[in-house]
Structures are given as structure tokens and as C-alpha cells.
């Protein structure tokens, strides 16, 4: 099992940023998600975030909403998410689950943390779990030996950045802009400032996500962040592909482009 | 001071009566319910709203302005109407309606909207967004935006746009942009998701004028306080009319704003029973209902811990009700807390029962109620038979039924 710590020290040693890719479990199919994520890893992703599909994804833009809707229509359950993690972890990437809080809460925090660790997962990203509500999850994650990643945003005050950074392990997720997930023409100008502000509160790696979709953007972000997170752009490739084989080829191509970007 | 100048609202009215531990603890918790489960990006905006509201509610100038709008624009105080011909079908119990249907725009939603629109101005924001189910909150928000010169965007499920077409036209006429939401169940819950997405993107200049007592802190508290006037007036008026407090207060519950609005002033009166009526749709067994408090489980939806209609893995289950305003798989956290503490009790009323009460009030009293409010009326009919002829029941007639004529024409083959 590859840990986040291993990933970031390796990237640092190679004087580059890490590449983090996101895909929801069960999309385009249950097996297809493992195949796509594996292709992403083979082409250069260091970390994979497996999204846990949720019925009310209020911080996701249309692309992820579409993928998640298809996944839920495919009947994806948490057991499938765990199986996906297991499959992807075998590829050698550090594998996390990104999820809204309610599914963990209903599954049982302790059970979720243990099952994820047993599947080879190394942590979670929980975008709607605030420091005030995170007590149980921090304890259960610690007991299971998995990392807890939370988000800071351009709007975050120093006080909030401090509070969030304090409960993060593995890395801190810096949202590049105010908005929902989705590839954009340009990465928010606020991102670099936010990474700088976050570094004053933590020695953990800081990764930037939201709006990154090209090799050029990845290179821009890699100049100041420890990791570059890409989600919607991969999903877009799969949505636009006429069949599974060309979808795989397409995500592989994008991962390679991004991997070159973080090495520029 | 002439009667029209007498203030109808004081700081104490707004801030609540402080009994029964009913005020959020600073993290916005009602017992284990409430709180904030939102992206970190929204925390500063929620903090800003909370801080500004704390200042506003103790600011005489703000209170005076709100009071002025409630009196001269919304048409408060609203009257009570006793409905003996309707009550004859309720075992002879006395039934008294609080006439929120007589407010400007036709429903209780105007109270909260005027308060939050004034708050928007204090926040220095120029744009308001809102979700709407039945369209009443959307219409009220578009109205207040027109009044105060704010840009206004309303998110409404595509299904609701169709069943409440009249309200869509009203919002457009008032200058609002109405965005039909076509994802998920295409109803209120999806409209809320979409409004949150807009808010996180445009939060610098935008206030999310939340329409019910759900959502992340401080919305459940603010919306309740601005709706509290319903119960504050009704409590005083009931004593004037009947010489005592009612035996029971009945209200419909979707998200729960009209119910909290009329319940809250009575929470300290332990002899007054508080009854909320949720939409049982086609019945509990059919699975097509909005019985969040009656049949849901505790979870997180739209930023708040509360009762939710969800499966065993936390996926929200789509609700159903003939009334768009009650068609919501969540509920305000304060209702969750009132339920668990036993202070209020919640029951289901089916589509058919609601429509029967809808028609009955029209025929016996010449009042066409909103289908939402008809759930409370149907509840009062049952309650009257249960409590007997000595009982007095106060019902929140939260809105009028003009908007529902399309549904009624179909249902009754009119």
C-alpha cells in the first residue's frame, strides 16, 4: 500500500508536484471505474480519489453531477466503493475516498474507517464536514490509521485556515476558486495566495483542486502547490468517448499530459 | 399613537421567549440537531449573516423598518377567523384560523422574506437568490427584491415549475429570473442544491434568502425569528377572542417555517398541544410521501442534521406530495428537536385528506386555502373529533389556494 507520505516525499525528491486524479465509483460502470483509474495511474497519477456517489452533491458542477447520477443509476453501493478502492490501490496509487458526510454517518463512522483501511484506502476527503462537526470522524480515522483531508477556500479567514489545517493529515486541499467542481478556462488567481496563507499554518503538503483540466494549468499550479487535483476533466473524457476502449485511451492521454505538466 | 402606528413587533418578539432552551447554542444546535455541514467556502458567508443578524435584531432602526414593512406592506397584523361551519365536521370543536393567506403575496413566506431582504441590504449585497417549491417563497422573494431594488434569481424544480405555472409567471412579472432545475427529482431539494451552488460561486455580492427553517446555521434561527410574528400575534388574539389559550395549535410541515412561526410563541405554554401535519402523499405504505419526521431517520441534508427520508446508506429518497410546498425529504432541525423532546407531535395527512379539507373549507366558509395549509385543516378535523366539542384549535392558514387551482381542476374535474 502506497501512503500519501510516500507519494509526497517521492514527488519532492523529484522536484515536482504530485498528480491527483478523481473518479466516482461506479462510473462509467463498476468495473470501468477501476479500469479508468488504473489507466490514470499507469499514465502518471500518484494519488486517486474515488468519489462516493451521493444523491445531493451540492458542491459539484454539472460534469460530476452527471457521472454521479449515472453511477447511482448503476446501483452503486458503499460495498462497491470499497471494492473500487481495493482494485485501484493494487495499481500502486495512494487511494482515497472523497465523500459528503451523510453516507459515512449512516454507514457508521467506525465501520467506514475500518472497511476503507481494509480495502487498502489511505484516507478520506470530506468537503462538507467542518472542524466543529469532525470530532468523531477524526477519532475513528486515527484508530483505523487513515488520513483525514479537509478543504480550505479563497474565502477562508486565517482563523478558519488554522482550524482546518490542524485537523488535516496527509495533505490540505485548497479550493482554487469560489465555486463548484468543473474544468475552467483558467485556474483561479486566488489559488496561489491561498496556498501561501495555508503554508503559514501547516507543514503538510498543500494540493490545489477545482478548475484544473490541462497540462498547462497543471504546470502553473505545480509551480506553487505540492499537488494538482483533477476530476471533471477526466470525467468529461469518459462521458464524451463513444466506447469504453476509447474512453480509457482518452483518460490515459490526459493523465500523461497532466503528468508532464506537473514535471515542467 | 393611533392603532396603525402601534408597533406590532418588539426586539423580544423577534428574539424569542428564551424558554425551553429553544435558542441555538452558538453552533446552531437544537439538541443534537442543526449545525453546519457545508463546504468551508461558505463558512465566512454564514458567519457574516449570523453576525449581522445579531446586530440587526438588537438595532431599533432595523426593528422599526421591519415593523413598518410588516404593517404597511405585508398587511399585518393578520386577522383570526373562526370557522363554525367547517368546525361542524370536526366534532363541534371550536376552530380558529390565523389568516396568513391574507398577507401580501398570499402566504406566510412574506414575513421572513422582508426581514432577510432588509438584512441583505445591511450585508451590503445587491443580489438575492432563493429556492422555491410551491413558488410562494419565490414570489415573496421576487416581491421584496422589486421593493428594495435587488437583483433576484429563483431556483425551482422543473416539476414544480409545471405544477405552479402561475407563480412562475408572477415571479417573472416581478422582474426575477426563474431557473428551472432539471437534475435529480426536479423538486425543492434539487432547487436547494442548485441555489447553494450559485451561492458558493457568487457569494461576494449575493445573499441566499433561505425560505424555510432548514439549512445550515444561522438559517433555522433567522427564518424562525422572522416568522415568529405569526404566533406572537395569534397568541394575543386568541386570548382576546376566547379569553384563554387554545388547547391545540395545528400547522402543516414541509421544511417547517409556517409551523415554527405559529408554534414558537406557544412553546412555553405547556398546556397548549402543538401538532404538525406532514404530507403522507399516497400513504406511508405506498412509499410516495413526505413523512420526514414520522417515517424518516436522523441524518444530514442541506447542511443540517435533522430527520431525512433516506436509505440505509444515506442516499436521499425522493418525497411525494400533491402540494409542492410540502414535497421535501428533509425538515427544519428545530422540528426534529421538538419531536424528540416530545413538545410537539407530528402526523401524516394524505393527498386525498388534504384535498377533502381544501374543498370543505371552500364550501363551508368561502375560503380557498393553499393545499399546503389544507394538510393542517385536515389535521384539525381529526384533532377536533379526538379532543371533543369543548376544545379550541388554532390552525395556521399559511397561504391561499389561488396558485393551486390547476391542481384542483385536475383533482376535482372542475
Residue A52 neighbours by CB distance under 10 Å: 30
Q: Which of B43, B200, B301 lies nearest to residue A160, judging by beta carbons?
A: B43
Cβ contact A54:B314 at 8 Å: yes
Closest CA to B191 of B144, B280, B255, B261: B255
ipTM of model:
0.96
Euclidean distance between CA atoms B213 and B132, whole angstroms: 13
**Pairing outcome for strands B304-308 and B297-301:** antiparallel
Calculate the dihedral angle through the C-alpha atoms of B232, B234, B240, B244, rounding to the nearest 10 degrees: -90
Q: Is A155 on the interface with B (CB under 8 A)?
A: yes
Euclidean distance between CA atoms B116 and B136, whole angstroms: 15
Q: Is A49 a catalytic residue?
A: yes
Instruction: State the best of B195, B218, B314, B329 to mutate against chain A, taking most chain A CBs within 10 Å.
Output: B314
pLDDT at B21 over 50: no
Cβ contact B155:B195 at 8 Å: yes
User: Could you give the 3-state DSSP secondary structure of residue B138?
Assistant: helix
Angle value at C-alpha B77, between B379 and B49, nearest 5 degrees = 85
pLDDT tens-digit readout, B80-97 = 999 999 999 999 999 999
Q: Is A66 a catalytic residue?
A: no
The average pLDDT across B119-130 equals 98
**Domain edges within chain A:** 4-149+213-262
Q: What dotted CATH number matches B28-74+109-224?
A: 3.40.50.1100
Q: Is A246 on the interface with B (CB under 8 A)?
A: no
Euclidean distance between CA atoms A154 and B40, whole angstroms: 10
Euclidean distance between CA atoms B115 and B69, whole angstroms: 9
Burial of B68 (0-12, 13-18, 19+ CB in 10 A): middle
pLDDT at B372 over 70: yes
Q: What dotted CATH number matches A4-149+213-262?
A: 3.20.20.70
pLDDT tens-digit readout, A17-73 = 999 999 999 999 999 999 999 999 999 999 999 999 999 999 999 999 999 999 999
What band does B23 get if pLDDT is binned at 50, 70 and 90?
low
pLDDT over 90, % of chain B:
87
Query: What per-residue confidence (pLDDT) applies to B6?
Result: 58
pLDDT at B59 over 70: yes
pLDDT tens-digit readout, B145-163 = 999 999 999 999 998 898 7
**All 3 cell numbers of residue B341?**
423532546
Q: Is B333 on the interface with A (CB under 8 A)?
A: no
**Domain edges within chain B:** 28-74+109-224, 80-106+227-412
**All 3 cell numbers of residue B19?**
424558554
Query: What per-residue confidence (pLDDT) applies to B305?
Result: 97
Angle value at C-alpha A220, between A216 and A225, nearest 5 degrees = 135
User: Could you give the 3-state DSSP secondary structure of residue B81?
Assistant: strand
The average pLDDT across A122-143 equals 97
Euclidean distance between CA atoms B48 and A4, whole angstroms: 36
Give the relative orientation of helices B219-227 and B333-341 as an angle to the nearest 10 degrees. Answer: 80
Query: What per-residue confidence (pLDDT) applies to B48?
Result: 95
Q: Is B310 on the interface with A (CB under 8 A)?
A: yes
pLDDT at B28 over 90: no
**Pairing outcome for strands B94-99 and B80-82:** antiparallel
Instruction: Please give the class, per CATH, of domain B80-106+227-412.
Output: alpha beta
Tell me which residue has cell 408572477.
B170
How many residues are listed for chain A in this entry? 264
Using CB atoms and an 8 Å cut-off, which of residues 61-100 of chain A contact chain B? 61, 65, 69, 72, 77-78, 100
Tell me which residue has cell 466543529.
A132
Amino acid at each position: 500500500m502506497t501512503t500519501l507520505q510516500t507519494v509526497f516525499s517521492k514527488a519532492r525528491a523529484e522536484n515536482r508536484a504530485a498528480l491527483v486524479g478523481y473518479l466516482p465509483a461506479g462510473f462509467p460502470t463498476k468495473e470501468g471505474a477501476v479500469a479508468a483509474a488504473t489507466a490514470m495511474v499507469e499514465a502518471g497519477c500518484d494519488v486517486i480519489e474515488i468519489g462516493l456517489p451521493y444523491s445531493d452533491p451540492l458542491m459539484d458542477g454539472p460534469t460530476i453531477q452527471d457521472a454521479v447520477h449515472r453511477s447511482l443509476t448503476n446501483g452503486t453501493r458503499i460495498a462497491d466503493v470499497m471494492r473500487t478502492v481495493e482494485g485501484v490501490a493494487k495499481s500502486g496509487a495512494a487511494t482515497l475516498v472523497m465523500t459528503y458526510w451523510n453516507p459515512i454517518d449512516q454507514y457508521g463512522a467506525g465501520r467506514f474507517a475500518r472497511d476503507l483501511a481494509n480495502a487498502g484506502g489511505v484516507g478520506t476527503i470530506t468537503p462538507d464536514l467542518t472542524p466543529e462537526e469532525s470530532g468523531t470522524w477524526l477519532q475513528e480515522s486515527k484508530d483505523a490509521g487513515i488520513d483525514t483531508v479537509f478543504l480550505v477556500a479563497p474565502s477562508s479567514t486565517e482563523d478558519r485556515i488554522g482550524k482546518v489545517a490542524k485537523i488535516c493529515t496527509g495533505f490540505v486541499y485548497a479550493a482554487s476558486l469560489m465555486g463548484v467542481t468543473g474544468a475552467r478556462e483558467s485556474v483561479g488567481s486566488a489559488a496561489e495566495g491561498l496556498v501561501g496563507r495555508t503554508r503559514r499554518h501547516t507543514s503538510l503538503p498543500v494540493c490545489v483542486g477545482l478548475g484544473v483540466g490541462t497540462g498547462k494549468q497543471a504546470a502553473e499550479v505545480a509551480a506553487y502547490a505540492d499537488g494538482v487535483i483533477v476530476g471533471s476533466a477526466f470525467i468529461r473524457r469518459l462521458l464524451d468517448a463513444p466506447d469504453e476502449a476509447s474512453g480509457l485511451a482518452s483518460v490515459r492521454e490526459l493523465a500523461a499530459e497532466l503528468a508532464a505538466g506537473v514535471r515542467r | 399613537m393611533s392603532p396603525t402606528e402601534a408597533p406590532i413587533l418588539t426586539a423580544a418578539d423577534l428574539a424569542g421567549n428564551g424558554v425551553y432552551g429553544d435558542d441555538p447554542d452558538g453552533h446552531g444546535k437544537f439538541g443534537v440537531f442543526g449545525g453546519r455541514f457545508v463546504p468551508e467556502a461558505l463558512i465566512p458567508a454564514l458567519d457574516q449573516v449570523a453576525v449581522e443578524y445579531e446586530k440587526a435584531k438588537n438595532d431599533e432602526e432595523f426593528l422599526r423598518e421591519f415593523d413598518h414593512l410588516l404593517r404597511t406592506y405585508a398587511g399585518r397584523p393578520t386577522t383570526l377567523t373562526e370557522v363554525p361551519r367547517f368546525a361542524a365536521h370536526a366534532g363541534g370543536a371550536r376552530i380558529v384560523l390565523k389568516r396568513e393567506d391574507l398577507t401580501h403575496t398570499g402566504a406566510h413566506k412574506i414575513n421572513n422574506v422582508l426581514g432577510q431582504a432588509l438584512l441583505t441590504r445591511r450585508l451590503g449585497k445587491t443580489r438575492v437568490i432563493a429556492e422555491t417549491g410551491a413558488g410562494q417563497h419565490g414570489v415573496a422573494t421576487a416581491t421584496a427584491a422589486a421593493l428594495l431594488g435587488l437583483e433576484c434569481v429563483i431556483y425551482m424544480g422543473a416539476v414544480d415549475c409545471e405544477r405552479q405555472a402561475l407563480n412562475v409567471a408572477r415571479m417573472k412579472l416581478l422582474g426575477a429570473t426563474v431557473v428551472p432545475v432539471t437534475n435529480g427529482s426536479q423538486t425543492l431539494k434539487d432547487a436547494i442544491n442548485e441555489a447553494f451552488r450559485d451561492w458558493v460561486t457568487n457569494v461576494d455580492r449575493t445573499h441566499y434568502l433561505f425560505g424555510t427553517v432548514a439549512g445550515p446555521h444561522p438559517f433555522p434561527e433567522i427564518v424562525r425569528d422572522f416568522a415568529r410574528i405569526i404566533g406572537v400575534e395569534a397568541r394575543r388574539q386568541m386570548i382576546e377572542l376566547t379569553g384563554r389559550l387554545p388547547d391545540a395549535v395545528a400547522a402543516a410541515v414541509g421544511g417547517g417555517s409556517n409551523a415554527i412561526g405559529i408554534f414558537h410563541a406557544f412553546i412555553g405554554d405547556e398546556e397548549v398541544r402543538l401538532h404538525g401535519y406532514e404530507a403522507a402523499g399516497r400513504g406511508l405504505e405506498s412509499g410516495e410521501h413526505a413523512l420526514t419526521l414520522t417515517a424518516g431517520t436522523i441524518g444530514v441534508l442541506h447542511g443540517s442534521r435533522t430527520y431525512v427520508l433516506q436509505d440505509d446508506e444515506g442516499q436521499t429518497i425522493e418525497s411525494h406530495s400533491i402540494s409542492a410546498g410540502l414535497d421535501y425529504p428533509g425538515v427544519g432541525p428545530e422540528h426534529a428537536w421538538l419531536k424528540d423532546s416530545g413538545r410537539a407531535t407530528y402526523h401524516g395527512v394524505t393527498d386525498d385528506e388534504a384535498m377533502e379539507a381544501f374543498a370543505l373549507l371552500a364550501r363551508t366558509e368561502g375560503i380557498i386555502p393553499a393545499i399546503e395549509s389544507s394538510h393542517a385543516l385536515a389535521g384539525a378535523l381529526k384533532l377536533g373529533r379526538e379532543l371533543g366539542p369543548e376544545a379550541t384549535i388554532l390552525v395556521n392558514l399559511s397561504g391561499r389556494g389561488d396558485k393551486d387551482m390547476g391542481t384542483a381542476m385536475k383533482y376535482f374535474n372542475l
